[in-house]
Amino acid sequence: MGRKVSENERAATEAFHGILKVTKNEKVKMQAAQLLLENETSNKERAVARQRQQLTNARKKEAANLRAQVDSLQEELQAANNKITALKADNEKEVDTLKQTIGKLGIQLSEAQVAGGKAKEQLSDIASYLACPEYEPKVLCAYLAQPDTIQSRFAALRIMVSDDSLSQDQRRKLAVEITQNHKQSRHQEPFQRFVDTVKKELGVATDQDLEPEYARWYRSKESDDPVRLLKLATVLESASFEEQGRARQMLALFYGWTDLDLSIRSSYLEREQAFECVRALKKRSLKEVENIKQAATQRDRPRDE
């Protein structure tokens, strides 16, 4: 491809060619031809200069882009180095923490081994004394009351789960206590065998199912608002059939309220009077609720002939 010819260049060239065609003066023709040659030469020089300038500009632009890419890569590299440095610092800190934790655990393990040895020795002492004819309960009580004797609910549970005379309800309560308050030891013996056995006896699949439904209801925030329970139970608030039934049971069990005559047709005064009565009720303790449930179970149990 040739260079692009401007309109001015084309007009000048055509003018010179026109002069060469129409004039018969040789001197004029010579001057026109010389001017045409000089014009062509000047145009070519300008074209070459423009191409050089364009090439120079393109190279400068490419160099600028390359410098920008280099700067960007250097920033990314610096960010990566900073991240590596931070990760190394975090890793070193974590390693130090782990070392300290391991050291503490080693100390605790040693202390536990010593305590375990003393406990075994004390248990052997007690079992041996119980088998002696000289056994006296007051002497054993005094021995157990020594200051270095550690007493805890957790330690008592180890013995309590071995009691085969407990009722099913007592066994269930112990299983709930273990799964809720001693989760770290839940899967250690003798607790694992005890809890799994209770679950099998009750026919439940999960640890959460060990707790009676009413106990889970008792801990819910919903059970603390008897007015809202009354609204749900009487469908003054939108509620599903299941929510309505649960609200009625909670009202009766936790507050002793069984009057459910309110409806959307009740007057404003009737509703407010009922709300005031329910609001004044005190929520029963969970122990009271359990006693009510046990009494109902015994009352519904068939009597032996």
pLDDT, mean of each 10-residue run, the chain (305 residues): 59 68 71 74 82 88 88 89 89 88 87 76 75 78 71 78 84 86 84 89 81 82 90 87 90 89 84 90 88 77 55
CB 172 within 8 A of CB 204: no
Amino acid identity for residue 244 in this structure = Q
State the pLDDT at residue 139: 78
**Residue 74 exposed, middle or buried by CB count within 10 Å (0-12, 13-18, 19+):** exposed
CB 86 within 8 A of CB 78: no
State the pLDDT at residue 305: 44
The domain ranges of the chain are: 7-84, 153-210, 213-299
Nearest to 179 by CA among 161, 166, 152: 161
**Residue 269 exposed, middle or buried by CB count within 10 Å (0-12, 13-18, 19+):** exposed
Q: Which residue has the tokens 């065609």?
A: 21
State the pLDDT at residue 280: 92
Nearest to 115 by CA among 144, 150, 158: 150
What CA–CA distance (Å, rounded) separates 47 from 4? 9
Q: What is the DSSP letter of 3?
A: P
Helices 26-130 + 7-22 axis angle, to 10: 160
CB 217 within 8 A of CB 256: no
State the pLDDT at residue 204: 77
What CA–CA distance (Å, rounded) separates 119 from 142? 17
State the pLDDT at residue 90: 87
Q: Which residue has the tokens 């929520």?
A: 283
What CA–CA distance (Å, rounded) separates 271 from 251? 16
What CA–CA distance (Å, rounded) separates 156 from 153? 5
**CA 195 to chain centroid:** 28
What CA–CA distance (Å, rounded) separates 91 from 209? 42
State the pLDDT at residue 165: 86
Q: Is the peptide bond before 226 cis (omega within 30 degrees of 0)?
A: no
State the pLDDT at residue 34: 77
What CA–CA distance (Å, rounded) separates 129 from 200? 37
Which DSSP helix (H) or strand (E) runs through 182?
none
**CA 260 to chain centroid:** 41
What CA–CA distance (Å, rounded) separates 51 from 59? 12
Q: What is the DSSP letter of 256?
A: -
Q: Which residue has the tokens 């920033």?
A: 75
What CA–CA distance (Å, rounded) separates 274 from 270? 6
State the pLDDT at residue 1: 46
